[in-house]
A and B are shown apart, each in its own frame.
Chain A
Amino acid sequence: MATGHVALDSTGVEAGEPVSNSTEEPYEAARRPVINDFSIQVATVNGSGSQSANIILLRSIFGMGIPVSGKNLFPSNIAGLPTWYTIRASKQGYVARKEEIDVLVALNAETAKEDILALPAGSVAIYEEAANLKQYRNDVICYPVPFDKLTAAACPEAKLRKLVKNMIYVGVVAKLISLDLNVVEAAVRRQFAKKQKAADLNWAAIQAGYDYATQSITKQDPFALERMHATDGKIIIDGNAAAALGALFAGVTVVTWYPITPSSSVVEQLIGYLKKYRVEPDGKASFAVVQAEDELAAVGMVLGAGWAGARSMTATSGPGISLMAEFVGLGYFTELPGVIFDIQRVGPSTGLPTRTSQGDILSVATLSHGDTKHVMLLPASVKECFEFAGAAFDLTERLQTPIFVLSDLDLGMNNWMSEPFEYPEKPLDRGKVLTAEDLKRLGGFARYKDVDGDGIPYRTLPGTDHPLAAYFVRGSGHNERAVYTEKPDDYQNLMERLNRKFETARTLVPAPVVVQTGKSKIGLIAYGTSDFAVTESRDQMKKEYGVETDYLRIRAFPFTREVHEFVASHERVYVIEQNRDAQMLSLLKLDLPAAEAVKLRSIRHFNGLPIDARSVTNALVIEENL
């Protein structure tokens, strides 16, 4: 896809001007082959059914044992607007977005010119013959393909041609990059597992594309695949499905939601799993799912269910988070459990609803009015989406406070390779709940009393059959016995205990992942999906500039001891994140001693596309005067 400055920087060609008729070939056919290390971008029109084709390509590369990642850059639209799918094969296992495209499949006439102009020199463009894109670039290897003609021949039914055309490019690309056809067929059969006819038709189209490329295209580019074994035993899944599975295996019982991109597929996929795995032998459900009237109601239901003892959750994105603000403050102040997944997208307001960001960090950390603060878990892989979903339910019941899991569109809606998820062997932690028997033994309880010194009080569940079980939840001032009070000391004691509870949270949340040599003065801090780019950038820094960096990946707020130690042990610490206002850096500043806070520097990426390694490296090079 064209990203403005990149188009000009990489080609030097003024957009819109055809290149003068030159007969020179600026590239050499005998370039050194580039094996298992390139990216493919498919530009199509939203609603044209290209998603299946792209997944087949992704799955085929995965099936050849080559590390691969896919990113769908789609518009907020049902049909008609441009969409791009990028697939990156990387023998080193890098899965961050790569800015440069090596192979373009330009099938959207509307963006085709822009798309080819954005390519770096020496890359490949595959396009509909009639579009004659070669006129715009003489430094790009062009493979015009008569897609329409091939499609018509492969698919007698006119109304299916739009879909089948996508498979033609799969075939052409398969031939050009040396995909194993057996692996491709397996991917097709998998994609259309329940539709034999569709599988046959699509497979035939792929073969037609493959045959055309074999007979009519002379390969001039260096990009090719060779079999590896780096994906053996791995799975492919999107982050939202992983989060849904995490909730399923955490024993979620009440799920409420209001549809919003990019979070809808968390609940949609969870519904699928619940229906399959949580209907009891008598046909009844061990779960309830409610599509609420809005996010206010969704979170109200979550807290009501949490109060009554259920493992409850909702999933939303930025605008929904804003709507939940008041209720979440009540949840914090009255100490109710509930899990809220925030699949972040670009704001403010509607923003870029189908693009990714890490822009909700600050607003979630202190969501609501008054002195509130919330525990946030920050997964950086599909595996962590699964694991942190489980952890969130244990933490919310243990801490009796709403817990947020902050994923983002990139992680949530894209497909990622992963080690298979491990079964959670630890029993569910249902927290400090007193039963009628406990009350008989204890002779009563005080709902908001800090009995254990960890700031976490004991609770009873509504319906507990004991005359002393009841207490009154109120958002207004309350004392240890949950009785209404406006006394200054009562309020202050309550707020201080909530602070002690937050300190306890610090010891329970996932610790950061630290990669430290002990020699470097430069520390990098990142979280969530910025991890992929930072990991790759650290290698670039070492390889290209000989600079070693240490790295800490934050996995939760409040920050654990290790974060303080990491900052203390480095001279300069770069906080890399995907928002404009350096939100995590701001949170760190609030938490760190002043002498440490001054070490923090910011690297930000916030154009709606996932952060890439080169952007991080370039920023580091400037900051470090390399």
Chain B
Amino acid sequence: MATTTAPTPKVNRLGLPAIDYRGSKTTLCAGCGHNAISERIIDAFYEMGVKSERVIKLSGIGCSSKSPAYFLSRSHGFNSVHGRMPSVATGALLANKTVQAIGVSGDGDTASIGMGQFAHLMRRNLPLIYIIEDNGVYGLTKGQFSATADLGSKLKTGVINDLPPIDTCALAIQLGATFVGRSFSGDKKQLTAMLKAAVAHKGTVMLDVISPCVTFNDHEGSTKSYKYMQEHEEAISEAGFVPFFEDIAIDYDAGTTYDVTMHDGSHLHLRKLHDSYNPTDRVAAVKALMEAHDRNEVLTGVFYIDTEKPNFTDLLNLADEPLATLPQERTRPSKEVLAEIMSKLA
């Protein structure tokens, strides 16, 4: 007699199904690159077996910044003010350095109104995954250029952009970020590998993800369209990721592949696609970005990684437990301390 058993749902190392990592239903346009990025974030956190309750997700303002509502519904979320998510994330991580933090921003939210906070976030190497969902336009206000729009790119209305773009990756490298890369919302394999490595990294991860705006910037003459990306994406390296909990030996050629050991013991394998590629050399990374611009290529891949530099909470030498919930005995000095201070002031 044949017996039937219910199929076991696929679960991650915590025994959780992928559905537990989903968020609420997206309200962004159908086909928006941001939705694909949300999917990849769900994949990465599911596959890495991160406990959602231990994650905080933050954003600024804009289409991009709506997306934290669409992944990890069991994580505390914070949709803050325009361009100033980094400060909120900084405060939250000082209060509780034990949580994993992911922030989603956009090109307007980062490269214009948020430039100041972006710069200082990179400098501090706060342990935060910072994703720019980069489409070159302001979507919620209906299609004005942002500061990452390429010179000469064209709006739907025919307006030509006459200012040079800000390369957030080159900037992040110069400012001190310790994990900098660019990807494309349509590149599932590359983006997922980079996001999983980002989860394993303990400093600022800055990922600029080209994410076409199907409504306002996906036309002929746009340099942030699906078509343009298909034609102009140029990967500088290929990323492979082996998490610490998977005992897999990967054969790689040490002559063509960089093996980066992450803080948690995971390995990021970066296979060279360009001869001059060296993800530990800031100058080489920025040079490659500049040269790619000149060739009208959109360079993708992990450009720079440094797993040694102390992050901001290490630098501040914070107590091991979250500052937020330290008991009063550890935060209010004793009566004798006040008496001592008072006697010195008498």
Q: Which B residues between 322 and 346 are near A, CB-CB below 8 angstroms?
A: 322-326, 328, 330-333, 335, 337-339, 341-342, 345-346
A454 to chain B, nearest CB (A): 24
**Max chain B CB contacts within 10 Å: which of A284, A285, A289, A310?**
A310
Taking a contact as CB atoms under 8 Å apart, the answer to whether A462 and B92 are in contact is yes
Say whether, besides A233-B346, A256-B91, A304-B90, A280 and B330 are in contact (CB < 8 Å): yes
A570 to chain B, nearest CB (A): 39
State A298–B90 Cα separation when bound (angstroms).
10
| 6 A-B residue pairs with CB within 8 Å | A237-B345, A278-B331, A307-B78, A310-B324, A463-B98, A474-B77
Say whether, besides A249-B333, A290-B94, A469-B53, A283 and B317 are in contact (CB < 8 Å): yes
Stretch binding the partner chain, chosen from A84-92, A421-429, A588-596, A606-614: A421-429
**Which of B61, B81, B91, B317 is A308 in contact with, Cβ under 8 Å?**
B91
Residues of A within 8 A of B174 (CB): none
Known: A237-B345, A305-B94, A463-B99. 16 other contacts (CB 8 A): A251-B332, A280-B319, A283-B317, A284-B320, A293-B119, A309-B325, A311-B331, A424-B332, A463-B76, A465-B54, A466-B53, A469-B53, A469-B76, A470-B75, A472-B77, A476-B79
0/1 interface trace, chain A 308-324, chain B, CB 8 Å (1 if under): 11111000000000000
| A306 at the binding interface (Cβ < 8 Å) | yes
Residues of B within 8 A of A280 (CB): 319, 330
Residues of B within 8 A of A256 (CB): 91
Taking a contact as CB atoms under 8 Å apart, the answer to whether A234 and B81 are in contact is no
Taking a contact as CB atoms under 8 Å apart, the answer to whether A235 and B79 are in contact is no
User: Interface size (A, Cβ < 8 Å)?
Assistant: 72
| A10 at the binding interface (Cβ < 8 Å) | no
A-B contacts, CB under 8 A, total? 222
**Which of B93, B120, B323 is A253 in contact with, Cβ under 8 Å?**
B323
Residues of A within 8 A of B92 (CB): 304-305, 307-308, 462
Say whether, besides A235-B345, A420-B346, A461-B324, A249 and B338 are in contact (CB < 8 Å): yes
User: Interface size (B, Cβ < 8 Å)?
Assistant: 60
Chain A residues close to B by CB (< 8 Å): 233-237, 245, 248-254, 256, 273, 277-278, 280, 283-290, 292-294, 296-312, 326-327, 330, 420-421, 423-424, 427-428, 460-467, 469-476, 484
Chain B residues close to A by CB (< 8 Å): 51-54, 56, 58, 61, 68-69, 73-81, 84, 86-96, 98-99, 116-117, 119-120, 313, 316-320, 322-326, 328, 330-333, 335, 337-339, 341-342, 345-346
Say whether, besides A293-B117, A303-B91, A469-B76, A253 and B332 are in contact (CB < 8 Å): no
Taking a contact as CB atoms under 8 Å apart, the answer to whether B80 and A309 are in contact is no
Taking a contact as CB atoms under 8 Å apart, the answer to whether A308 and B342 are in contact is no
A-B interface, 10 closest residue pairs, ranked by CB to CB distance from nearest? A304-B91, A300-B87, A251-B331, A309-B324, A310-B95, A308-B95, A305-B91, A304-B88, A301-B91, A462-B76
Residues of B within 8 A of A462 (CB): 56, 75-76, 92, 96, 99
Say whether, besides A251-B332, A309-B96, A461-B96, A327 and B84 are in contact (CB < 8 Å): yes
**Which of A278, A304, A484 is B95 in contact with, Cβ under 8 Å?**
A304
Residues of A within 8 A of B342 (CB): 235, 420-421
Taking a contact as CB atoms under 8 Å apart, the answer to whether A285 and B331 are in contact is no
State A299–B337 Cα separation when bound (angstroms).
29
